Amino acid sequence: MDTQPEQGDSYTDNLIGTLLAIFGSVIVSISLSIQKYSHVTLAGTKEQRTFYNTKTWWSGFVFICIGEGANFVSYAFAPIAVVAPLNAVSVLTSSILGFLFLREKSKAKDFAKNHGLAFLGYIFIIGGTYLFVSFGPNSHEKLQAENIVKHLIGWPVLLYMLLEIIAFCLLLYFYKQRNANYLVVVLLLVALLGSVTVITVKAVSGMLLLTLEGSMQLDYPIFSVMFVCMVASVIFQARFLSQACNLHDPSLAACVNYIFSTIFAVVAGAVFYLEFQKEDVLHICLFLLGSALCFLGVFLVTKSRKKAKIFEPYVTMDVANGVPTIHDNGLVVQPDFNGSFSYGALVNNDGVAPTTLPVNLEHPTVTVRGTDLPYGQPDLKKD
């Protein structure tokens, strides 16, 4: 039985999947911005409430579910090679939302200097998205259980999975046993798991869609296998990605993760679902050009993000002469002499007022306490 759809149906399915993926990416970006706003607002108040007790955070969570649901369904209509690179839309939307909420007032020259790379990245992302969507693979297969099993037992897929397992085990060994906490190592683990995620997500979403259309696919064992692999890969992928963001700059991690995940996802779609089998060289080259433009655009957008300045609450020894004037409230920074270890604290732990520093710190008079004098009677220096 021929399961290939007609050419018109293929274009329609691709369009639906593309629009769903774009919609999902935009909604996820908005939801994350809403949740971040909830965290920041709650941190600026004295209310002793957790973030999940606020309506703002829950509204963001609802939007996340909607956006991820749209992304999940998009894999049932469009090829992986078209859906996976569309994560650049999420980076683009997040950057625009952050730019709008900052509302910085600056001159045109300073504005171009601070945000020029970001706007250039926007252009590259939009142009690249147009190219890989327009010239990406158009053939789309109805994923019945028999077709998925047929793909799974093919020698190209078995060889690909074997190489992927070997690479994953080697990277995991160096990461856990050799403490190779490099960003590339961690994000390669994420990308390898991500390739399994997109394969299983497309299979599960495709079989669910056929089930809703009247062709029951849920009673096949391959559905359960794909569903379990999908859940497991998503959980471990999120765990490694969180570790990468904690160990390294989140903006750089987001850029490298997008590039690695997109490459591995496109390769997985090409090997497992044979998405580029009927494409000519020109379409493949333009698709690769569009993907490269998106990579460059995401790099420029994430590179232009400002790094947060670290606040140092203690005064270093090289600015000791400026201690009396560095605070607006006129308080003097002094070490505690009450036996505590909070050197340089603004407030004494026992409530004792700090001693005022002498105005002239050059060549202070040295006094020696005699051993035979009573406590509290300093030995005065004689001329």
Residues in contact with 315: Cβ distance below 8 Å, sequence separation at least 6, in sequence order: 323, 326, 333, 344
Q: pLDDT value at position 106?
A: 56
**pTM given for the model:** 0.75
Position 38 scores a pLDDT of 81
As a whole number of Å, the end-to-end CA separation of the chain is 114
DSSP output for 328-373: TT-PPP----SS-S-TT-SS-TT-PPPPPPPS--SSPPP----TTS
- Quick one: pLDDT at residue 125? 95
Distance CA 15, CA 133 (A): 9
| Side chain identity, residue 101 | F
Domain ranges for the chain: 142-273
Per-residue pLDDT of the chain (383 residues; tens, 9 = 90+): 444 444 446 788 889 999 999 999 999 999 988 888 887 777 767 665 676 678 888 888 999 999 999 999 999 999 999 999 999 999 999 888 877 775 555 566 666 676 788 899 999 999 999 999 999 898 777 888 999 999 999 899 999 999 999 999 999 999 999 888 999 999 999 999 999 999 999 999 999 999 998 889 999 999 999 999 999 999 999 999 999 988 888 889 999 999 999 999 999 999 999 989 888 999 999 999 999 999 999 999 988 765 544 444 444 444 444 444 444 444 444 444 444 333 333 444 444 444 444 545 444 444 444 444 444 444 544 44
Q: List the Cα angle 246/249/253 in 5-degree steps.
A: 90
